[in-house]
Amino acid sequence: SPVIVWIRRDLRLSDHAALTAAADSGRPVIPVFVLDEVVDRLGAAAKFRFGLGVEAFGDALEGIGSRLILRRGKALECLQALVKETGAGAVYWQRAYDPDSKDRDTKVKAALKDDGLDVQSFAGHLLFEPWTVETKTGGFYKVYTPFWNAVKGTDIDAPQTAVSDLKAPSDWPDSDTLDDWQMDAAMRRGAAIVGKHVSVGEEAARGRLGAFIANGIEGYGDGRNMVAEDGCSRMSEPLTYGEISPRICWHAGMRAREEGKAGAETWLKELVWREFAYHLLHHTPHIVSDNWREEWRSFPWNEDERKSEVIAWKRGRTGVAFVDAAMREMYVTGTMHNRARMIVASYLTKHLMCHWRIGQAWFEDCLIDWDPASNALGWQWTAGSGPDATPYFRVFNPDTQAEKFDPKGQYRKAWIAEGQSNPPETATDYFAAVPESWSLDTGRDYPDPVVTLDEGRKRALDAYENRDF
Ligand code: FAD
């Protein structure tokens, strides 16, 4: 009887444990992707980008004589229907670790087992299963550096080779089409504009990784902070959809380290930040929804999304050039440089004293590399409410940060059209991408700061001084 492989954030043929196990079983394999309750809830940009990934993965499967069946509805009901239609005896998938997916998967597993099926879940989205890394007393890690020290010497198995042959069933079950699904429907911003910046599929991911290892990793130590330079790997996008496995990235980084490439160790450490984020998410799922440190729940953050300062922040019109450039970069490309993420997050939570959840949700809607664990940790780290966090009183000054990490102003010029007689396409694309309801036009003057940096800083520090914890 056939094996169903439930495809989720693992749109790849290489290093795919569930697909490999199904192929090795010698039985017909039916890969299926379900637009279920978890996928349906994704932010606009992530859902749009997921759709492109699913399309590319369907093509990749067809390239090896298989198919990707598309179904929409509750995951369990879709899988049960497919089992009934195809006579499948087994369902395999790779594990997910966010609270919504875990909850769904636990229920699906129990119900399918009750139906008498062989149900197996495999590792693959992470280097380390979150529950396997333990402190000496059997607890979990709350601080990154000891986590890194605990895992850095681990021997990580080599990635599995790509699946090149999947036995087809005698009859393929029906499938929806991606056109039916319209996964770009929520894109208020011009999908075509964001689409210019995506890099979709396994081959593209390998290409990006190869180019970074050949040209970028050596200078990554400093280059990773220079916002106008191409100094980072840009692996977060394919890692999010599993178009590349973390194990492939890890081994590429290890080889670079063995070759003596300077930035390799720093880059491996960044990959482990992603692991740490999932470790925390697994052990303390409230990190996505509430202040990790309970005392921060009483901090007088603004939670009103309608406030003009919040609107200005989202729209890249705070009057602080580095912040605005970064917010526009995200709106147009679906990604934002890591240094810039820290600056805009600090500005929102400190200068504007807004709750980090407002920023977390806006990032969730705008990022094509949106990741539940890294986004939550990134926000709580910057806001000061997280387990391993910068203290609230450390307020980044966006102007000094700009002098340091965008010394020639290239990043700001790339994204802010106002004041330039001949602005680059990136900057004008922003005006093409925003919805009409924002009523922005290129001719408008650049806004004055919604709050001066000194004032904002002082307000935040006063609130911190007067906190009741
Ligand atoms: P590189 O610098 O080349 O690093 C390699 C890989 O390491 C990345 O692809 C990523 O998987 C991992 N990594 C690097 N930095 C971090 C980090 N700080 N935390 C966790 N993993 C990291 N990353 C996301 O993937 N999705 C998000 O939604 C996300 N939201 C963030 C929100 C805030 C407020 C902050 C401060 C950071 C956020 N990050 C997020 C982390 C980081 O900014 C991105 O992973 C990074 O910019 C991706 O670029 P890159 O792939 O070129 O990274």
pLDDT of residue 159: 98
Q: What's the CA-to-centroid distance between 333 and ligand 1, angstroms? A: 15
Q: Which atom of ligand 1 is nearest to the CA of 370?
A: 28
Provide the percentage of residues in the chain whose pLDDT is more than 90. Answer: 96
Strands of 118-122's sheet in order across: 69-72, 29-35, 3-7, 90-94, 118-122
Interatomic CA distance for residues 378 and 374, integer angstroms: 6
CATH classification (class only), 1-123: alpha beta
pLDDT of residue 167: 98
Backbone angles phi, psi at 133, to 5 degrees: -100, 115
Q: Give residue-wise pLDDT tens across range 114-145.
A: 999 999 999 999 999 999 999 999 999 999 99
pLDDT of residue 153: 95
pLDDT of residue 183: 97
Interatomic CA distance for residues 302 and 277, integer angstroms: 26
Query: Which range, of 73-82, 201-210, 374-383, 438-447, averages the lowest pLDDT?
Result: 438-447
Reported as type and span, the H/E element at residue 29 is: strand 29-35
Given phi > 0 = left and psi -120 to 50 = alpha, else beta, which region is 139? beta
Residue having the nearest C-alpha atom to atom 41 of ligand 1: 374
Parts of the chain belonging to CATH 1.25.40.80: 126-157+192-283
Q: Which atom of ligand 1 is nearest to the CA of 345?
A: 34
Answer yes or no: are the C-beta atoms of 262 and 227 closer than 8 Å. Answer: no
Domain 126-157+192-283 falls under CATH 1.25.40.80? yes
CATH number of 294-465: 1.10.579.10
What angle (nearest 5°) sits at the alpha carbon of residue 392, between those of residues 389 and 397?
A: 105
Report ipTM for this prediction. 0.99
Q: Is the pLDDT of residue 439 over 90?
A: no
Q: Give residue-wise pLDDT tens across range 183-239.
A: 999 997 788 999 999 999 999 999 999 999 999 999 999 999 999 999 999 999 999
Pairing mode, strands 90-94 and 3-7? parallel
pLDDT of residue 170: 96
Q: Concatenated DSSP letters for 253-277?
A: HHHHHHTT-TTHHHHHHHHHHHHHH
pLDDT of residue 161: 98
pLDDT of residue 66: 98
Q: Is the pLDDT of residue 347 over 90?
A: yes
pLDDT of residue 343: 98
Q: What's the CA-to-centroid distance between 462 and ligand 1, angstroms? A: 31
Average pLDDT rounded to a whole number, residues 263-272: 98
Backbone angles phi, psi at 302, to 5 degrees: -75, 130
- pLDDT bucket at 441, cuts 50 / 70 / 90: confident
Q: Which atom of ligand 1 is nearest to the CA of 336?
A: 47
Interatomic CA distance for residues 38 and 104, integer angstroms: 8
Q: Is the pLDDT of residue 51 over 80?
A: yes
What angle (nearest 5°) sits at the alpha carbon of residue 215, between those of residues 210 and 221?
A: 110
Q: Give residue-wise pLDDT tens across range 296-341.
A: 999 999 999 999 999 999 999 999 999 999 999 999 999 999 999 9
Interatomic CA distance for residues 308 and 264, integer angstroms: 43
Sorted by sequence, the CB contacts under 8 Å of residue 2 that are 6+ apart come out as: 27, 28, 29, 30, 86, 87, 88, 89, 90, 169
Query: Which range, of 38-47, 84-93, 430-439, averages the lowest pLDDT?
Result: 430-439
For 122, counting Cβ atoms within 10 Å of its Cβ (0-12 exposed, 13-18 middle, 19+ buried), the class is middle
Q: Give residue-wise pLDDT tens across range 313-322.
A: 999 999 999 9
Q: Which residue from 338, 356, 381 has its CB within 8 A of the most atoms of ligand 1, so it is best to mutate?
A: 338
pLDDT of residue 215: 96
Parts of the chain belonging to CATH 1.10.579.10: 294-465
Answer yes or no: are the C-beta atoms of 286 and 292 closer than 8 Å. Answer: yes
- pLDDT bucket at 20, cuts 50 / 70 / 90: very high
pLDDT of residue 188: 78
- pTM beyond cutoff 0.90: yes
Q: Is the pLDDT of residue 444 over 80?
A: no
Q: Is the pLDDT of residue 442 over 80?
A: no
Pick from 60, 58, 91, 86: which is nearest to 174 by CA? 86
Measured from the Cβ of residue 347, the count of other Cβ atoms closer than 10 Å reads 28
pLDDT of residue 190: 82
pLDDT of residue 257: 98
- CB-defined site of ligand 1, < 6 Å: 224, 232-236, 239-240, 270-271, 273-274, 277, 338, 341-342, 345, 363, 367, 369-371, 374-375, 377-379, 382
SS3 of residue 316 by DSSP: coil
